Amino acid sequence: MKSAIVRHILVKDKELAEQLKKKIQSGADFAKIAKQHSTCPSAKKGGELGEIKKGQLVAPIDKAVFTLAERELHGPIKSQFGWHLLEIKFRMDF
């Protein structure tokens, strides 16, 4: 079974997601940005989703979590909930 430790930010529009990504890439704190802007309940925890098992998230996000590079900021990625920025801290296969 595959799992990953992930944090993310969810916003309603792509433009905002792109602006936030630039801020984070320029050194802004991911957790602070998540707390200020994310519409996901995980915002309270700085965007931390914790351990995610394959198949647990909506399809486009699940695919990204288990295929994109670890320790990089990805997105914006669209789902039915809005636009996501993802950071895959690491993946495990057990």
C-alpha span between 86 and 65 (Å, rounded)? 8
Instruction: State pLDDT tens for residues 48-73.
Output: 999 999 999 999 999 999 999 999 99
| AA letter at 58 | V
CATH class of the region 2-93: alpha beta
| AA letter at 63 | K
C-alpha span between 51 and 5 (Å, rounded)? 5
Output the pLDDT for position 14.
98
pTM: 0.93
